[in-house]
Structure 1
Amino acid sequence: MQATVTLVEAVIAGGIGTITLNHPEKKNCLSEALICDLCAALEEMWRHEARAVILRAPAGSQVFSAGHDVRELPTHGRDPLTYNDPLRRAVRAIELFPAPVIAMVEGSVWGGACELVMSCDLIVASDDCTFAMTVAKMGVPYNISGVQNLMNTCGMPLCKEMLFTAQPMPVKRLAHQGIVSHAVPRARLETVTRSIAEQIVKNSPLVISLLKEELRLLSASHNLGPETFERVQAMRRRIYDSADYQEGIHAFFERRSPQFEGK
């Protein structure tokens, strides 16, 4: 099977699916259109019973994805990251996909794209790439499920450093922490990634699907009471109603550093 779904290319061969983000002029930003195409490509992989899926950018990319499309963030007192936000839909589609999804990463990864990559089952990256979780730099109130996903993947200390500093994290440090499975030279990236996918394809797809779901459920087994949830939501609401939130978005479009005042 081979298809192009506008902003995403999808191919299946030998039980391995490959989805390529293909909107380089926008640095593969996670617009609603691109996310819809990504989810459609995953559904196509599901219908064709792919036993492993590789998620990648075009070969030689300097930016894997620039994260959320800032132009699509609301600016008038509305929650920018709801349950139906495009990124949340994409993360759920990857998590619920019945076979392993491998992120093959070259270039820098920004903002919500960090969570998209880290929601994949395995990450194989070029040894020169970086990950930057930039929501604090943009003044965007990240949501509970997104923070929980990062915390589960990165562990608390590294999660805090990435979120609080908003600075690029070298992939070798993530590999040392076990977050990235392999950090390899770009010349070996595709070979290593496909070798892992080929090993997965040889195993029982029923057992692999079961293991993936068991691991998902176990990693998400955190109790959060209604009162705590509402308190966090109230804190987030204060941010997306704030002048700082508007300042972050305006500064992005004006290509300047934001001047946050905590108001």
Structure 2
Amino acid sequence: MGLVELAFSDWIGTITLNNPKKLNALSEELIKDFCDALEELKRQSVRVVILRAPAGSKIFSAGHDMRELPLDGRDPLTYTDPLRLAVRTIEYFPAPIIAMVEGSVWGGACELVLSCDIIIAAEDVTFAITPAKIGVPYNISGVQNLIITGGTHICKEMLFAAQPFPVKRLVDAEIVNRAVPIDQLETVAQTLAEQISKNSPLVISLLKEEIRLLSTSHNLSPETFERVQSMRRSVYDSDDYQEGIKAFFEKRPPIFKGK
């Protein structure tokens, strides 16, 4: 678990993303370490998990590791993509996961945080979902998760504008549970974790699964799924997709031509 730190005490586990040199980018290696840490906490029968970045972080996570996105016409966000694996692992984990957010959240890391059961954030945090800015075709599961968590209109604004959202707006929209002063963040998250840990773990595990099933009970028809996949394929096969990734590494605004 070289890219995350793991600790647990009194039924509470803590996972700290710890790759500051790459801004905690969600690389395949970091996601593997994260999922391994959750598996270990499951073996320890923890009753609640806190997910965080190191104290003092300016960036919680920079999202997808752009260096791992394919340039050969392959779908960049498949069912086995590291982010999809991380989200499913969070969703199926039998205990609540609290995202304790210090530092800004970018790109795919927004979905990672929003997939957690409870979000406690410092009041100066911003969230930015940026696939439209870099030309990456977000997939159905990702968009569905954002809609379930944030609602259609907030989801559209965040995805279409790809600009930082102040956490206060997300609290007002009931997407983030609480925004607190930075010097109170750890205390608030730890107190909530302790409250949860004293309740029935069997009931909480059941409630988490019931909520997951109820929130994902609207299925797409095979025809609709195939149509959306075809639209996505036209994006990751496009010149704009190549341009978005090239511009990112050249540290310049991309010039999208819509083809």
> Which interval holds the TM-score relative to the shorter structure?
over 0.9
Which of 8, 12, 17 is residue 12 of structure 1 equivalent to? Answer: 8
Quote the offset at 1:76 in angstroms. Answer: 1.0
The number of equivalent residue pairs is 259
Letter in 2 for 1:7: L
Task: Report whether the alignment pairs 1:93 with 2:89.
Answer: yes
Which of 130, 133, 136 is residue 132 of structure 2 equivalent to? Answer: 136
Provide the residue aligned with 1:76 in structure 2. Answer: 72
Provide the residue aligned with 1:36 in structure 2. Answer: 32
Partner deviation per Cα, 1:102-128 (whole Å, 9 max, x = no partner): 000011100000000000000000000
Which of 211, 217, 239 is residue 235 of structure 2 equivalent to? Answer: 239
Letter in 1 for 2:205: S
Give the secondary structure class of the aligned counterpart of 1:42. Answer: helix
Aligned-residue sequence identity (percent) comes to 71
Partner deviation per Cα, 1:129-172 (whole Å, 9 max, x = no partner): 00000000010000000000000000011000000000000001
Letter in 1 for 2:75: D
Task: Report whether the alignment pairs 1:262 with 2:255.
Answer: no
Give the secondary structure class of the aligned counterpart of 1:262. Answer: coil
Structure 2: how far apart are the matches of 1:196 and 1:148? Answer: 28
Provide the residue aligned with 1:23 in structure 2. Answer: 19
Quote the offset at 1:223 in angstroms. Answer: 1.7
Structure 2: how far apart are the matches of 1:251 and 1:244? Answer: 10
Runs of 4+ deviating beyond 6 Å: none
Partner deviation per Cα, 1:208-259 (whole Å, 9 max, x = no partner): 0000000000000012000000000000000000000000000001000000
TM-score (norm. length: structure 1):
0.98
Which of 248, 252, 255 is residue 248 of structure 2 equivalent to? Answer: 252
What is the root-mean-square deviation of aligned Cα atoms in Å? 0.3
Structure 1: how far apart are the matches of 2:45 and 2:29? Answer: 24
Structure 1: how far apart are the matches of 2:71 and 2:202? Answer: 45
Task: Report whether the alignment pairs 1:178 with 2:180.
Answer: no
Letter in 2 for 1:234: S
Structure 1: how far apart are the matches of 2:226 and 2:101? Answer: 36
Provide the residue aligned with 2:102 in structure 1. Answer: 106
Provide the residue aligned with 2:58 in structure 1. Answer: 62
Which of 219, 224, 229 is residue 223 of structure 1 equivalent to? Answer: 219
Structure 2: how far apart are the matches of 1:117 and 1:188? Answer: 19
Structure 2: how far apart are the matches of 1:150 and 1:224? Answer: 16
Letter in 2 for 1:63: I
Letter in 2 for 1:31: S
| Structure 2 residues without counterparts, runs of 5 or longer | none
Letter in 2 for 1:130: T
Give the secondary structure class of the aligned counterpart of 1:180. Answer: coil
Letter in 1 for 2:88: R
| Structure 1 residues without counterparts, runs of 5 or longer | none
Quote the offset at 1:178 in angstroms. Answer: 0.9
Give the secondary structure class of the aligned counterpart of 2:105. Answer: strand
Task: Report whether the alignment pairs 1:204 with 2:200.
Answer: yes
Letter in 2 for 1:173: R
Task: Report whether the alignment pairs 1:148 with 2:151.
Answer: no
Give the secondary structure class of the aligned counterpart of 2:217. Answer: coil
Structure 2: how far apart are the matches of 1:107 and 1:56? Answer: 10
Partner deviation per Cα, 1:189-214 (whole Å, 9 max, x = no partner): 00000111001001000000000000
TM-score (norm. length: structure 2):
1.00
